[in-house]
Structure 1
Amino acid sequence: MSTQQTTVAVIGLGIMGGPMAANLVKAGFDTVGYNRSPQKVKDLEAAGGRGAASIAEAVADADVIITMVPDSPDVEDVALGEGGLVGAAKSGAIWVDASTIRPDVAVRVGEAATEAGLRPLDAPVSGGEKGAIEATLSIMAGGEAETFEAARPVLEAVGKTIVHVGPSGSGQTVKAANQLIVAGTIELVSEALVFLEAYGVDTEAAIKVLAGGLAGNRILDNKASAMAQRSFQPGFRVDLHHKDMGIVTAAAREAGVAIPLGALTAQLMGSLRQLGHGDLDHSALLLLVEQLSGHTRKD
């Protein structure tokens, strides 16, 4: 797949989709974008891409279409709604849905896309805004292996760890597992930080030594220092992780799988959201742990 001869349409130019589209431009792809907020389209144009006034216009000549929208209903609307990509894209185009949605919805919209002559992949990503900006996202793709290989050059422009994990819906299932682990890890790191602070420990020193041992994880590496400083600029918002925990708890129930710690963490994430913190980074779970403990940080 030649970059200069390949047109990639990106639908949804938000925190994740915008940087992904910019990296496609940097990689040499003819990149066209659509977003409900016109300013995001202008940002892509300033980065060297092209803007479109509608989904249909964006995908009309696209060889590969990437969607990055918030939730299952959004994907259904973008794909199957009036002026949606399934009806507007050319036959044979690859559709990569990088959104995080329910696995059953991924299967259903994938079937509709296949019937319309498209080649769908459900390929959610992990790595947050930082990963999107640095093109180091982890991408877990479900769908036909042949389609995955055809899309690989495009995926390599936005991600670093790119794995075909099975048939349609598998990407979303793996992403649900990812979100389960991430939320649980954030909760445990939050509890550890509040615990350390209660004893007056130097948290930065503690983070360093914990990250170097068996307790080491990406949350300690990438978020713990900001958490200790109570800086919760959103790389991935509480609102979205709350949505994702709803996906994993529902899917686990359907499969008959017990996720007791995951279910509790889902409740905690929901409680944090209800307290008005939905726009903060998901690492703000620390605020809830702090409140439940009756503690405030000792500066």
Structure 2
Amino acid sequence: MEKLAPAKDRLLKSEKNWMNGEVRGKIIVYLCAIIMISATIAITIFLGSKGLQSFFKNGVSLIEFLTSKLWNPSDQAKPLYGALPFITGSFAVTFLSALIAAPLGIGGAIFMTEIAPSWGRKILQPVIELLVGIPSVVYGFIGLTVLVPFVRTHFGGLGFSLLSGMIVLSIMILPTITTIATDAMSSLPNNLREGSFALGATRWQTIRKVLIPAALPNLLTAIVLGMARAFGEALAVQMVIGNVKDMPHSLLDASATLTTIITLDMGETTFGSPENNILWSMGLLLLIMSFAFILLIRYLSSRRKI
């Protein structure tokens, strides 16, 4: 009995240490969750309070802000707060870049998961990861020195245009769409492929009529995530889009987005001034659009078939 006592004490001590470790782990996990939730709520409250001041404190019309094409908030006699050109520019470059990046990204995912041998993915995957690691300022600088002159020479105009912005953004969001689409295609069970082949379908018929419909919610999620990143991008777009305050009428027209106007004008305004508050309102609009993208992603995720 005396020999069993130390072993029993060690067992109890080990169990006590395990319990203490489990409690500490739960505390750390819950603390991290609370910090993330608190940070999100704090940012939303702060941005909401700042963004609404222009409407409640400075008397700016919400209808004018969303629908007017005239922007001159620094005019002392009659300030104009029409943000429609920037809203249009943001949505235009976002959707147009998605139109380019989505087919390329999904096609690359299909190539890596269904067509290429193992060495194909080993080559393409590092290329995608390399694109992810390139800073946005590098994309913007390359677009400024290479893409803008190319557009000016071959398509006309100044080169600073929606076309340049959408091309730069499509390259930037391509890794996001490709990576998520690749995971979506890889997660499909093999019995879908085997069942399709057993019925006599070819590889392309299997991809087009079985695998893509099965993975469609995840593929749409990848596109929406790419669009969410494109909508909030500032620096790279700012360097190639032209940053004019007029409504664009074609792909070759210079334009501006909500993010580019905020980054250009925020440093030239006085904190608490009507012009400063209207920029915060643009930031609030960006936050609302981010929430909209998240809700859309949640909706698509709930419709997953597998």
Where on the TM-score scale, by shorter chain, does this alignment land: which range? under 0.3
User: What TM-score do you get using the length of structure 1 for normalisation?
Assistant: 0.21
Q: Could you say which structure has the higher strand fraction?
A: 1
Give the greater-gyration-radius structure (CA).
Answer: 2
Higher relative contact order (CA 8 A, sep 6+): 2
Q: Could you say which structure has the higher helix fraction?
A: 2
